[in-house]
């Protein structure tokens, strides 16, 4: 398995396939085909086969895929056979929404701590989680062995926050601040800039 060569888009599609497989499994369906998965998620069946082929042989020719097995395999590939504790920095509107976002919980992500430097927010609850001061960051990361963090702070604080997270051992960061951030080579950084996504749409509407 040549990990380096697997396109990120394939990883994202695996994640989508796994939801569809969970759905099929819930409906009691035992076997499926690349065509059925493709139709369920809106890609071509060749794409499904290609994405799966990066990780070995799964199906049986003429029979298809066992739903439970394939679902389990994909979750394992994605590292989702374990729960992932995550920390979230910034308890503003976006941070609060992310903290309450059911989609994370459903996929095995657990918010281990929410942090904000605003004294008025500290001690308040977001759902069932208490907003903590930044001074507690190191302790929570250690206690829950957290490797992943979400940054939902204003752009001007983002690099400083990321430096702290890296210092305390965070290895993967999901950043919502619209700012280019730098991290060491052994830390994965993923940026989602919501306005940039809207601008891809305005570009397409404008041509």
Quote the tokens at residue 141.
Answer: 């990361």
Identify residues 134-163 at the interface with a second copy (CB under 8 A). Answer: 147-148
- Torsions phi, psi of 114, nearest 5? -120, 135
- The annotation status of 21 as a binding-site residue, yes or no, is no
- The annotation status of 94 as a binding-site residue, yes or no, is yes
Identify residues 19-58 at the interface with a second copy (CB under 8 A). Answer: 19, 40-42
Residue 96 to residue 132: CA distance in whole angstroms: 13
Q: Which is nearer to a second copy, 106 or 135 (CB)?
A: 106
Quote the tokens at residue 130.
Answer: 């208490």
Residue 74 to residue 77: CA distance in whole angstroms: 5
CA nearest neighbour of 51 among 37, 69, 31, 30: 37
Number of residues that bind a second copy (CB under 8 A): 57
Residue 74 to residue 84: CA distance in whole angstroms: 16
Identify residues 61-90 at the interface with a second copy (CB under 8 A). Answer: 77-80, 84, 86
Tell the residue number behind the tokens 């927010």, with chain if given.
121
- Binding segment toward a second copy, per CB under 8 A, in 24-32, 44-52, 92-100, 131-139: 92-100
Among 97, 143, 160, 167, binds a second copy (CB under 8 A): 97
Q: Which is nearer to a second copy, 132 or 146 (CB)?
A: 146
CB under 8 Å to 144, separation ≥6 — which residues?
85, 112, 113
Minimum distance from CB of 119 to a second copy (Å)?
21
How big is the CA angle at 148 (ends 157 and 25), to the nearest 5 degrees? 135
Instruction: Indicate the annotated binding residues for NAD(+).
Output: 90-95
Which residues sit at the interface with a second copy, rule CB under 8 A?
3, 8, 11-12, 14-16, 19, 40-42, 77-80, 84, 86, 93-94, 96-98, 100-101, 103-104, 106-107, 109, 147-148, 171-174, 178, 180-182, 188, 190, 192-207
């Amino acid at each position: 398995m040549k990990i380096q060569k697997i396109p990120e888009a394939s990883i994202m599609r695996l994640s989508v396939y796994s939801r569809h497989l969970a759905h099929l499994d819930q409906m009691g369906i035992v076997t499926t085909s690349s065509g059925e998965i493709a139709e369920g998620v809106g890609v071509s069946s060749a794409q499904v086969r290609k994405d799966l082929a990066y990780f070995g042989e799964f199906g049986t020719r003429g029979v298809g895929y066992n739903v439970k097995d394939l679902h389990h395999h994909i979750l394992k590939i994605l590292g989702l056979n374990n729960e992932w504790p995550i920390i979230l920095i910034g308890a503003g509107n976006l941070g609060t929404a992310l903290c309450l976002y059911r989609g994370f919980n459903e996929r095995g992500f657990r918010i281990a701590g929410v942090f904000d430097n605003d004294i008025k927010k500290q001690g308040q609850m977001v759902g069932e989680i208490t907003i903590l001061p930044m001074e507690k960051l190191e302790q929570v990361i250690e206690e829950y062995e957290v490797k992943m963090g979400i940054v939902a702070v204003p752009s001007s604080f983002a690099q400083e926050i990321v430096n702290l997270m890296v210092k305390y051992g965070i290895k993967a960061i999901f950043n919502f601040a619209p700012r280019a951030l730098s991290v060491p080579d052994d830390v994965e950084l993923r940026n989602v800039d919501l306005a940039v996504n809207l601008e891809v749409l305005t570009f397409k509407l404008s041509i």
